[in-house]
Chain A
Amino acid sequence: MLDPDILARVQFAFTMAFHIIFPSLTIGLASFLLVLEAMWLRTGNDTYLSLYKFWIKIFALAFGMGVVSGIVMSYQFGTNWGPFSKLSGPVIGPLMAYEVLTAFFLEAGFLGVMLFGLNKVGPKLHITATAMVAIGTLFSAFWILSANSWMQTPAGYAIETGRIVVENWFDVIFNPSFPYRLVHMVLAAYLTTAFVVAGVGAWHLLRNRENNAARIMFSMALWLITIFAPLQIIAGDMHGLNTLEHQPAKVAAMEGHFETTKGGTPLILFGWPDMAAGETKYAVEIPYLGSIILTHTLDGEIRGLNEFAPEDRPNAPILFWSFRIMVGLGTLMLLVAAGSLWARYRKTLFDCKWLHRFALIMGPSGFIAILAGWITTEVGRQPWVIYGIMRTADAGSPISPVAIAGSLAAFFVAYTIVFGVGTAYILRAMRQDPRHAHIDPHEIYRADHANVVDHIDTSKH
């Protein structure tokens, strides 16, 4: 029959996977919009304003979808994970309460002014609103990643009569994996956004390489990629070292290592980790590289999966492959960065068709990398919901499997419709020429109530 735990996990994974896509984009876009508005105010170049208007429509759609899918998350802890909520409430609850108080209200409070208030409050207050929204998205990332990291590497607590009691809030918030995860995720959000912006810019350049708005966004996005793609690889490496220290079983599964090795560990490029057989089959290996990457030495010890009790092992095939998808995409991102530097050196950034096509194909790569990375870290936490404290099997609410299957089906249908349509609207907004930041008749109607329209747009009509 249907296993309620599996159904609840699938539902959580499904709703979370949809949700994480939107904040990943809005974290980056909010900062991008702030930069665009600042450039507009500083230079007086109206192309920046056109770009602001172009991207704020996409931001508004993505933000709206992020909000509604996020509200679902805040209740799903209780509906499907009652025992987990009861146990973790005193620790994780306050982190989330701080997220609501410092981030959600800040974003929501200034979003209206940001979207509709330019003509009502003037540019100075308006850019303040944009800045508040951008800061809000980062505060949000701070708290939610702190909570998420605490589930991975709990610290600062004691267990008294079956309850978790916090002993030191600083240790809870800044738990061992949090700084690495925060940096890794924020860089990922910025990179994801940069690839979206670069992809859109590339698409417009492929149609018309003289499009100056497309040129500006393409160049800006590629500068960010050029700096952040290598930084992300360094951050990922440091995060990996941290994981090896605190969650060695996760790293063993990611790398497909079943036997413990004391130095000279190879890097398994590809293969099929077979949990039942306790070995990685068809392994393609590079000698010593595993030791170098994981321990930064030639003779560091790396514990294999077979050293952990069978009931404490995460699912190796999923981790092995999700990790490789993420790393593979990261490598391709680095290639885009290198290609853009080469094109800049040759002064062909806006004429280089293969680079434009490459950037276009890589447009959604950040989302896939984030999902793959998220699967790696969360599946790698299994079989624990709070690492070492509570098993996922003990965390589920006593809900009938039929009810969960029903809600899962409802989420599936609703999200497919809503986010399918939303994505279609976003793609349509991306197709419009950014130089005109064209506003359709409905938009004018809405805009004039809310004053999004300005002299630039009206003069273009």
Chain B
Amino acid sequence: MDYQLIWVLLIAFSVFAYVTLDGFDLGIGILFPFERKSENRGKMMNSIAPIWDGNETWLVLGGGGLYATFPAAYSLLMTAFYIPVIIMLLALVFRGVAFEFRFKSRNHTNHWDVAFATGSILAAAMQGAMLGAFIEGINIKDGHFIGGAFDWISPFSVFCATAVVVGYALLGAGWLIMKCDGPLQGKLRAIAKPAVIWMAANLGVVSLMTTYLNPAYGERWFSTPNIYYLAPIPIVTVGLMFWLWHAVKRREKTVFGITLSVFFLSYLGFGITLFPHIVPPVISFRDAASPDNSLSFMLVGAAILLPIILGYTAYAYYVFRGKIDDAGYH
């Protein structure tokens, strides 16, 4: 069995699960500045209070899993992204404790709202910046990082940072349109509309710029026969964005679903562009992998446990399904 390939796909799956699940969590924090009413903010936060921890666990699986399966890549990436990783972690600390602290605080609810929003925005922005810097490539010589501490900042990475913030905000808005009703839902629709256009523009710019950053990336997409096989991805994405534009006005559940699909296709495109590089532009996942007996040992556990995890995670979502109601507000 090709354990290396299986594991690179499993790690990619964890990262995708993280991006979408914590994406809408972070999106709710990103949307906080647009909703001033404390009770509505409370509702927004409560819609994810029972599940956010599970969503963030995928980040730990992504990090811990990368450490276990591709330790050379983990070591290089964390070193190259030292500053954005630390900022992201601190941002996640502030937004994570806000879930508890906001409701425990008597006089400083607003402080923790600010912590929640700022933490969410910063964490999303750092993830976007790392995505951009990752696509641009890491400065490596003989298997060692030889770049500077601020290499991750570039016009492209800054653009990617804003793109991820907007994308997460849209995911969060989609989730909330599904979970809320009344004036709050209307307000979220109003916020989501320009976000759809902004996200469409971001996707177009990032996709095109990526193909120009590295001739190999462009080659992957535009050479024949690849272009015939891969063309459906951008075409379907464009179609979804049009559908999203209409859904935002009147649909309740489809907004979230379509946004997830757009994320999936973008992520697929990202994977196709970079494969087989786990530390672009030179290190392939095969160069960075742990020995097969480590990979097979973990695969046994993952094969048994991941379906169970998905099962009880689905159960938790099922328990807290439906609209957040405020009937009990005294």
Closest B residue, CB atoms, query A449:
B46
Q: Are A96 and B78 in contact (CB under 8 A)?
A: no
Across-interface contacts of A105 in B (CB, < 8 A)? 54, 57, 61, 305, 309, 312-313
Q: Are B64 and A96 in contact (CB under 8 A)?
A: yes
Across-interface contacts of B51 in A (CB, < 8 A)? 112
Nearest-neighbour CB distance to chain B for A97, whole angstroms, equals 4
Q: Are A96 and B94 in contact (CB under 8 A)?
A: no
Across-interface contacts of A91 in B (CB, < 8 A)? 294
Nearest-neighbour CB distance to chain B for A305, whole angstroms, equals 34
Across-interface contacts of B78 in A (CB, < 8 A)? 75, 77-79, 82, 85, 397
Interchain CA distance A444-B327 in the complex, whole Å: 12
Nearest-neighbour CB distance to chain B for A353, whole angstroms, equals 31
Q: Are A102 and B305 in contact (CB under 8 A)?
A: yes
* From B68, B77, B99, B327, contact of A64 by CB (8 A): B99
Interchain CA distance A70-B64 in the complex, whole Å: 12
Interchain CA distance A108-B96 in the complex, whole Å: 13
Q: Are A410 and B104 in contact (CB under 8 A)?
A: no
Interchain CA distance A166-B101 in the complex, whole Å: 44
Is B243 among interface residues, defined by CB-CB distance under 8 A?
A: no
Segment with Cβ contacts to A, from B200-208, B273-281, B317-325 = B317-325
Across-interface contacts of B195 in A (CB, < 8 A)? none
Across-interface contacts of B109 in A (CB, < 8 A)? 442
Interchain CA distance A87-B67 in the complex, whole Å: 10
Interchain CA distance A96-B67 in the complex, whole Å: 9
Is A398 among interface residues, defined by CB-CB distance under 8 A?
A: yes
Chain B residues 202-250 with CB under 8 Å of chain A are none
Nearest-neighbour CB distance to chain B for A108, whole angstroms, equals 4
SS of A interface (majority): helix
Q: Are A89 and B42 in contact (CB under 8 A)?
A: no
* From A90, A120, A410, contact of B71 by CB (8 A): A90
Is A422 among interface residues, defined by CB-CB distance under 8 A?
A: yes
Nearest-neighbour CB distance to chain A for B124, whole angstroms, equals 15
Q: Are B320 and A120 in contact (CB under 8 A)?
A: yes
Q: Are A446 and B320 in contact (CB under 8 A)?
A: no
Q: Are A450 and B290 in contact (CB under 8 A)?
A: no
Across-interface contacts of A397 in B (CB, < 8 A)? 75, 78-79, 82
Interchain CA distance A89-B297 in the complex, whole Å: 13
Closest B residue, CB atoms, query A440:
B106
Interchain CA distance A169-B105 in the complex, whole Å: 47
Across-interface contacts of B56 in A (CB, < 8 A)? 67, 71, 108
Is A270 among interface residues, defined by CB-CB distance under 8 A?
A: no
Closest B residue, CB atoms, query A84:
B75
Is A403 among interface residues, defined by CB-CB distance under 8 A?
A: yes
Nearest-neighbour CB distance to chain B for A327, whole angstroms, equals 34
Across-interface contacts of B70 in A (CB, < 8 A)? 89
Across-interface contacts of B272 in A (CB, < 8 A)? none
Q: Are A425 and B71 in contact (CB under 8 A)?
A: no
Interchain CA distance A449-B313 in the complex, whole Å: 20
Q: Are B49 and A97 in contact (CB under 8 A)?
A: no
Nearest-neighbour CB distance to chain B for A102, whole angstroms, equals 6
Closest A residue, CB atoms, query B87:
A410
Interchain CA distance A85-B75 in the complex, whole Å: 6
Nearest-neighbour CB distance to chain A for B77, whole angstroms, equals 7
Q: Are B144 and A398 in contact (CB under 8 A)?
A: yes
* From A86, A101, A116, A441, contact of B301 by CB (8 A): A101
Interchain CA distance A166-B64 in the complex, whole Å: 18
Across-interface contacts of A448 in B (CB, < 8 A)? 326-330
Across-interface contacts of A70 in B (CB, < 8 A)? 60
Q: Are A112 and B53 in contact (CB under 8 A)?
A: yes
Q: Are A410 and B65 in contact (CB under 8 A)?
A: no
Q: Are B294 and A93 in contact (CB under 8 A)?
A: yes
* From B89, B90, B104, contact of A425 by CB (8 A): B104
Partner-B contacts on A (CB < 8 A): 60-61, 64-65, 67-72, 74-75, 77-79, 82-83, 85-94, 96-102, 104-113, 115-117, 120-121, 132, 163, 165-166, 169, 397-400, 403, 407, 410-411, 414-415, 418, 421-422, 425, 428-429, 440-450, 453
Partner-A contacts on B (CB < 8 A): 39, 42-43, 46, 49-51, 53-54, 56-57, 59-61, 63-65, 67-72, 74-79, 81-83, 85-86, 89-90, 92-94, 96-97, 99-101, 103-106, 109, 144-145, 149, 290-291, 293-294, 297-298, 301-302, 305-306, 309, 312-313, 315-316, 319-320, 324-330
